[in-house]
Amino acid sequence: MDRSSPLGRRFARGLLYAAALAGGALLAHVTGPANKPSQPASPAHADIRLAQALAAPLSLGPQPAGASERVAAALPEALALDAPNAPGQLPTRSSADYRDGLIIDGTTSHRLILFSFDDGPDERTTPLLLDRLDAVGVKAVFFLVASRIAGNGARERVQAELAKEIVARGHLIGSHTVDHQQLPLLSDEDALEQVAGAEAIFQRVVGFRPSLFRPPGGARSGRIDELLVSRHYTTVLWNLSAGDPQVRSAQDVFDTFVRVLERRERENGERGGVLLLHDTHAWTVDAFQLIWAELWARNCRLLAQGEELYDVVSDLSFFYQPRGAAPAGFIAAPAEPDAAVLAERQARLRAEARTRCNASDGF
Ligand SMILES: [Zn+2]
């Protein structure tokens, strides 16, 4: 297929869109029937079939239970979880709040958006993103690849400082393994090394080990879920993505985000969620600006219509119900956030929107 031809471009965009949509479909597929009866993809949609085809190599089926726990038990005690009040550190939030052994898939019926950035930090792109997040007061979750901040290379040293900077600016960090391996493809020992090895690096570099985890490629299995629970992680998936690793322009990232957002709402009633992006791409850092502007442009229309506004949040608890007595490792039910909290946040947003939307210089 010639990607420069109109048909080729359309095909390429279809692939990109399918990959972006694959978040939920892929995860449900890899996970199998274990956890929740998530919305199955309609076979009527060719792009969903494509998404499933893309996901197929990751489907490893059920694994024997308990193997990872045996390996984990042979290890020394888990390193201290988030201890963010060490001298010289400024974070105000701790991912230890979410240490519940749950799997959060990010779905919500409210217009709540949480930005998450995977695969960094990257010395070329993360600093500008941090400034842009600060400029609009957004706190995000960064799932860091630990090998990027380990070692004595010039780049790794700069990126280690960036990891500290991410924490110091009030963002949450989570583990994205040592070097981005798809865990279900690894032996018990190697999977454990990816998880525990990252903990040791985080402990050394930022002074604590995160309790949030995002599996590379969204690849999971029962065996890996068990391993993560045994290491006291909460797994954070996503329901919104923009295909940013597959493209080369901010506009393509933005267009895909809008299509995915609208489709999730149309088909699943999900009006917001956890958005997966990658701070390792310059076009993603630019796309953040477009997405932010779009959310506020929509808010101006929604304000006039008296509808719920988009609310960019930093708190994962908006997206899942606490575990309660349920066993660890299950996909959490979507949260129905406290009505008074939502009303108060919406009131503040409406006040802000009244000012912003009358401004002549836009955003
Ligand atoms: Zn990744």
Domain at 302, CATH number: 3.20.20.370
The parts of the chain modelled with pLDDT lower than 50 are 1-4, 6-8, 23-80, 83-92, 360-363
Which long-range contacts does 83-87 make (Cβ < 8 Å, 24+ apart)? 83/207, 83/208, 84/167, 84/207, 84/208, 86/207, 86/208
Q: Is residue 165 in some structural domain?
A: yes
pLDDT at 89: 35
Q: How far is the CA of 217 from the centre of ligand 1 (A)?
A: 6
The runs of H, that is alpha helices, within 105-216 are 126-136, 154-168, 188-206
Task: Report if residue 54 sits inside a domain.
Answer: no
- Would residue 51 count as lying in a domain? no
Q: Which domain holds residue 12?
A: 6-39+78-358
Distance 208 CA to ligand 1 centre (A): 21
Q: What's at 253, amino acid-wise?
A: V
- How far apart are the CA of 277 and the centre of ligand 1, in A? 9
In this predicted structure, what is the pLDDT of residue 101? 81
Predicted model pTM: 0.79
Q: Is residue 68 part of a domain?
A: no
Q: Which residue has the tokens 């519940």?
A: 100
Give a yes or no: residue 53 inside a domain. Answer: no
Residue type, position 322, single letter: P
What's residue 298's pLDDT? 97
Tell me the CA–centroid distance for residue 96 and ligand 1, in Å.
22
Please give the distance, rounded to the nearest whole angstrom, from the Cα atom of residue 151 to the centre of ligand 1.
Answer: 20
In-domain check, residue 363: no
Question: What local confidence, expressed as pLDDT, does residue 328 receive?
Answer: 75
pLDDT, position 332 = 87
55 domain residue, yes or no: no
Q: Does 58 fall in a domain?
A: no
Domain count, the chain: 1
User: How many A from CA of 45 to the centre of ligand 1?
Assistant: 26
